[in-house]
Structure 1
């Protein structure tokens, strides 16, 4: 009977150790998954911030281009009262502005 009791105690001890090993493995696996998830979440946040910054940069570029076109329009249409010339060359100015706009649009389409 002592042999059976020792065998039973040995089995119980073995099962306890086995459970502890499994808990340890599960904890290590959970920790690894948590670290990986945290890393991917940070990476996702960084990418999202980069995207937002890119969008803001593109918007600023578009606003600057619009302001530049407006400035060109303003500067290319001199007042006939100030210059004493007629507005006969306005068609040339308008063609220049149209070409500038199409180049601007093509530039932003490519980007």
Structure 2
């Protein structure tokens, strides 16, 4: 059983979500966390939820976007750092599972 489900992701984001997309994002977030720590420790749902929320909220992995004179940076994005590989798999997400393990979650 996954540590979180799409309903928890919706509650965390505070918005309605597309169930199929959310299920995929949660599955991928869990896989990313398992790539760092397997098996996932008890309480790892917080780390999976954090990774899933970042990926769902910024699916294209944008650090910033400029159109004409306007520029926008998504919340949590780091300007100057291009996304690597999978949306939501940036440096912050690399640290999340390790931090959960180091505090015994």
* Structure with the higher fraction of residues in helix conformation: 1
* Structure with the higher fraction of residues in strand conformation: 2
Instruction: Specify the structure having the higher radius of gyration (Cα).
Output: 1
TM-score normalized by the length of structure 1: 0.27
TM-score normalized by the length of structure 2: 0.28
Asked which structure has the greater RCO (Cα within 8 Å, sep 6+), the reply is 2
